[in-house]
Amino acid sequence: MNKVAKNLGLYLVLVLVVVSMVNMFLTPEEVQKQYDEISYTQFISELDAGHVRILQIRNNTIPGESSSAAFQGEMTSGQRFLTYGLDVSEIADKAVKMGITVTFEAPQKNTWLTSLMTSLFPTLLLIGVWMYFLYGMQGGGGRIMSFGRSKAKLFLDNKPKVTFADVAGCDESKEELQEVIQFLKDPEKFKKLGARVPKGVLLVGPPGTGKTLLARAAAGEADVPFFSSSGSDFVEMFVGVGAARVRDLFEQAKKYQPCIIFIDEMDAVGRHRGAGLGGGHDEREQTLNQLLVELDGFDDSSSTILIAATNRPDILDPALLRPGRFDRHITVDRPDVKGREEILKVHMKEKQFADDVDVSILARRTPGLVGADLENLVNEGALLAARHNKDRIGMDELEEGIERVMAGPERKSRIINDHEKRVIAYHETGHAIVAKVLPGSDPVHKISIIPRGHAALGYTLQVPEEDRFLMSKSELMNRISVLLSGRVSEEIVFNDVTSGAANDLERATQIARQMVTQLGMSDTIGLIKLGNKREEIFLGRDISEDRNYSEEVAYKIDQEVKAIIDSCYQRAKAILTERRSLMDKIAGVLLEREVLDAEDFARLMEDVPSDIPEPPDDRIDILPNTSRDFLA
């Protein structure tokens, strides 16, 4: 009915516009087409000469007919003319005395419809436009002045069919949600013991780890009504709309208790207050205030659970995170090797795979990838198999899918001259040899000089054998040596360097500076953390760093970073200089084949002596580094 009413209102406006245009413009144009206009002076001359035989006066308009043959020849209408005058009464008296037939046209009487349209048309037009915009802002539906209605989707009989069996790689997170589900299924069990179930559950984790899927699975397991919304649905340009939508959402939820409210991207509405452009009267802050009130307003008998998801918990308002609102924070982190294997099995259920596909190998070769990446990997493999007209997805397609997800698609159309191709081959060979020789480095899985993605002209793929959470100082030094070895190989072979090591130098400098300023791995600087991050809450990202040290210390930091880089560079140079013939051999094979896998590279590296000492086992606690190195 709302859609019909909207269309009828629009059609009414269009009809009024058309009728008004016809009434205002069509009739005068039709009258004017029947006569030829002449000047008033010419009309008086013809009247005095006795050539005018009929006059029909309409207000100040004087149409008539002439009997002059010469005058008629100048007019396209034959003998009818039209002129205008102010004092037509004297002209009429004069024409009557001369025996000319004079008639007066009675004033046109407006019909009731014309009068109604003339008087009401502007008002009706404004009302019609106003109603149209009101309906249009409701997305094609909704009532007038219903801005405050919540946009959350309610799932009753069509609630998500996803269960915990469809969610893999986050067993701990599922266990944390089990209590919430049990409460929704049997609230009396908890009330007898006087237990208070969390009012809110906040799912925190990197993008793509399955936070939204986990919330849908919780609704499917609990088998209760499910309200799904996004943080951006509450924020509008109109003041008070967001707060009204929050109130409406919780009022609807009370009618369907027990139920689950899910708000995705909570950081869109829950950011820290006091940092917006509008101060305390910012519309987003008013929405957050109302949300805080509603969370506190849950009575003890309420069976409504709020689940929210965000990947930026650091910018959420502290009042939102305190107990009594979001009581439980569940981290949905990147899956480990076992979790990746389970996730791959979930996404491989409905697809046909060849016998050579080994899920455990794929899981070991995809460290750092989240659920969304793994799903994309399997999909890329299926697309490649279809492109090759295969009826099953093989291991080759999945391996290619891994590289497409990590480094991007191949760009064989990019034309590289022979000299640059040779430089790239030696560059990647240098990376691979140093990574093989240095103990504790991740094994080399693949070397390629085929361009991929938007920037990489070649890459050396290192895949760790297991998930790592700690790295020692010697291992970090080895990583820097591997990064610098591409530049070293260029200098040894060509006695010149190129811009291909730009990304390597950036990453090596970042690791070295982190070792000096954050990890306490410099004897000169000591066990001090230098530099504090300064965050701009409104923008939601780090924009600068406070220097809590003097210029003298800054100079020492730069010297220490340079010393680490120089030491690692000389170490890589010594390794590659000693193995120059091996580097020529591997680079030649790489130029011929363009791609070397782990087995090919291992055969070429057989019987290579390694006189590099084992690194000491001095492990330190740091954030896990990226698990895949693409060295262009």
- Each residue's pLDDT tens digit, 56-88: 777 667 777 776 655 554 554 456 777 777 667
Q: From 544, 535, 546, 545, select the one nearest 272 (Cα to Cα).
A: 535
The residue among 613 and 366 whose pLDDT is bigger is: 366
**Model pLDDT for residues 449-506, shown as the tens digit of each residue:** 888 866 678 888 888 877 777 889 999 999 999 999 999 999 999 999 998 889 999 9
Amino acid 86: pLDDT = 66
Per-residue confidence (pLDDT) for residue 545, from 0 to 100: 61
What pLDDT, on the 0 to 100 scale, is given for residue 571?
95
Please say if the pLDDT value at position 624 is more than 60.
no
- Residue 628 burial (CB count, 10 A): 20
- What's the Rg (C-alpha) of the chain? 41
Asked whether the predicted pLDDT for residue 586 surpasses 90, the reply is yes
The CA-atom distances, in angstroms, between 359 and each of 332, 363, 379, 396, 602 are: 22, 6, 15, 13, 23
pLDDT at 164 over 80: yes
CB burial readout 78-93, b (16+ within 10 A) else e: ebbbbbeeeebeebbe
Ranges 21-30, 299-308, 369-378, 399-408, most confident: 369-378
Q: What angle do CA 331, 335, 340 make, to 5 degrees?
A: 150
Model pLDDT for residues 517-539, shown as the tens digit of each residue: 999 999 888 898 888 765 544 44
Q: What gap in Å lies between CA 260 and CA 317, rounded to an integer? A: 22
Quote the pLDDT of residue 298. Answer: 53
Alpha carbon distance 456, 465 (integer Å) = 24
Domains of the chain: 2-104 (3.30.720.210), 153-331 (3.40.50.300), 337-407 (1.10.8.60), 418-621 (1.20.58.760)
Q: What amino acid occupies position 494?
A: F
Q: What is the mean pLDDT of residues 579-593?
A: 92
Question: What pLDDT is attached to residue 7?
Answer: 57
How confident is the prediction for the chain on average, in pLDDT? 78
| Residue 560, H or E segment | helix 551-578
pLDDT at 3 over 60: no
**Which of these ranges, 184-193, 232-241, 249-258, 340-349, has the smallest mean pLDDT?**
232-241
Rounded to whole angstroms, the Cα distance separating 426 from 429 reads: 5
379 confidence band (pLDDT: 50, 70, 90):
very high
Q: Which residues pair with 305 in a beta bridge?
A: 260
Residue 375 has pLDDT above 50, yes or no: yes
- φ, ψ of residue 476 to 5 degrees: the values are -65, -40
- Name the band, by pLDDT with cuts 50, 70 and 90, for residue 260: confident
371-409: buried (b, 16+ CB within 10 Å) or exposed (e) per residue? Answer: bbbbbbbbebbbebbeeeeeeebbbbbbbbbbbbbbbbe
Mean pLDDT along residues 9-33: 56
- Going by pLDDT thresholds of 50, 70 and 90, the confidence category of residue 27 is very low
Q: Which residue has tokens 């606690």? A: 621
Q: Is the pLDDT of residue 625 over 70?
A: no
Check residue 544 and give its pLDDT: 53
Q: What is the pLDDT of residue 224?
A: 82
Tell me how far apart the alpha carbons of residues 514 and 519 are, in angstroms, rounded to a whole number: 6
The structure's pTM equals 0.68
pLDDT at 591 over 80: yes
Question: Which pLDDT does position 1 carry in this prediction?
Answer: 46
Say how many CA atoms lie within 13 Å of 551 toward its Cβ.
0
Mean pLDDT of 289-315: 80
- For the stretch 328-357, pLDDT in tens is 888 888 898 889 999 999 889 888 898 888
Distance CA 340, CA 463 (A): 15
The residue ranking higher by pLDDT, 71 or 423, is: 423
Residue 258, preceding bond cis, omega within 30 degrees? yes
pLDDT at 34: 63
Hunting for tokens 């037939």 — which residue is that? 101
Residues 606-620: what's their mean pLDDT? 45
Rounded CA gap, 342 and 50, in Å? 110
Backbone angles phi, psi at 163, to 5 degrees: -125, 180
* pLDDT in the model for residue 511: 95
> In 3D, which of 91, 46, 48, 92 has the Cα closest to residue 69?
46
pLDDT of residue 542: 46
pLDDT for the residue numbered 204: 92
Residue 565 pLDDT: 95
- Which residue spans within 24-143 are E strands per DSSP? 36-37, 52-57, 61-66, 80-84, 101-104
Q: What percent of the chain has pLDDT over 90?
A: 21
- The lowest-confidence range among 269-273, 294-298, 403-407 is 294-298
pLDDT of 293 above 80 = yes
Q: What is the pLDDT of residue 616?
A: 38
User: Does 376 or 324 have the greater pLDDT score?
Assistant: 376
**pLDDT tens-digit map of 382-393:** 999 999 899 899
pLDDT band at 42 (very low <50, low <70, confident <90, very high): confident
Q: Which of 341, 428, 490, 560 is catalytic?
A: 428
Asked whether residue 229 carries a pLDDT value surpassing 90, the answer given is: no
251 included as an active-site residue:
no
> Within 13 Å and on the Cβ side, how many CA atoms surround 101?
6
